[in-house]
C-alpha cells in the first residue's frame, strides 16, 4: 500500500510576526502588516502562516469530484518579492465590477496581483476581499468567525 504524501499546503506553526520580519523589503513588511489588519477585520479570523509563504485567515475542507481533498484558507495573501498575491474565490457576483474599479493590478482565475498598495483603491480591495470571503463561506457551508 502506497503512503500518501504529506500535504505541503497546510497551516504551519511559524509565528506570523517572525514571517513578516523575514521579508527583506521594509515597504513590503509594512504593506503585509496593513493587509493583515484588513484581512483580519474582514474575516474575523486570526492570521496563520501556510506552506508556500501564504498568510491565511480561517480554513475550510474541500473535496474534489476526483476524491482529492485538503484544507485551504478562506482568504489569504502572500507578500512576494515582486508583488502581493491575493488568493480569492474564483467566482462571485461582484468580482468583475470590483476588479474594474480596484486600480493597477493583474489577475488570474483565483489570484489578484498588486505591486504596491498605493497603486489601488483600498476601499475597493476591502469590498473585494469581503465578497470573496462571503462566497467561500457560503459555498462551503461554514460559519463566519465570532467577533
CA proximity to 108, closest of 94, 131, 91, 93: 91
CA atoms of 11 and 104, how far apart (whole Å): 30
The DSSP code for 51 is T
> What would the grid cell of residue 141 be?
457551508
pLDDT digits (tens), the chain, 147 positions: 444 445 557 899 999 999 999 999 999 999 999 999 999 999 999 999 999 999 999 998 888 788 888 899 999 999 998 999 999 999 999 999 999 999 999 999 889 999 999 999 999 999 999 999 999 999 887 765 544
Q: pTM of the full predicted structure? A: 0.88
H or E segment to which residue 91 belongs: none
Contacts of 92 (CB under 8 A, 6+ apart): 131, 132, 134, 135
Amino acid at each position: 500500500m502506497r503512503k500518501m504524501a504529506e500535504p505541503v499546503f497546510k497551516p504551519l506553526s511559524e509565528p506570523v510576526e517572525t514571517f513578516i520580519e523575514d521579508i527583506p523589503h521594509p515597504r513590503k513588511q509594512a504593506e503585509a502588516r496593513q493587509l493583515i489588519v484588513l484581512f483580519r477585520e474582514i474575516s474575523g479570523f486570526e492570521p496563520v502562516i501556510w506552506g508556500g509563504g501564504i498568510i491565511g485567515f480561517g480554513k475550510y475542507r474541500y473535496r474534489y469530484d476526483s476524491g482529492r481533498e485538503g484544507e485551504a484558507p478562506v482568504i489569504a495573501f502572500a507578500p512576494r518579492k515582486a508583488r502581493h498575491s491575493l488568493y480569492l474565490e474564483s467566482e462571485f457576483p461582484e468580482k468583475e465590477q470590483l476588479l474594474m474599479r480596484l486600480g493597477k493590478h493583474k489577475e488570474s482565475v483565483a489570484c489578484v496581483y498588486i505591486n504596491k498598495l498605493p497603486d489601488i483603491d483600498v476601499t475597493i480591495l476591502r469590498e473585494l476581499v469581503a465578497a470573496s470571503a462571503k462566497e467561500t463561506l457560503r459555498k462551503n457551508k461554514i460559519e463566519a468567525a465570532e467577533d
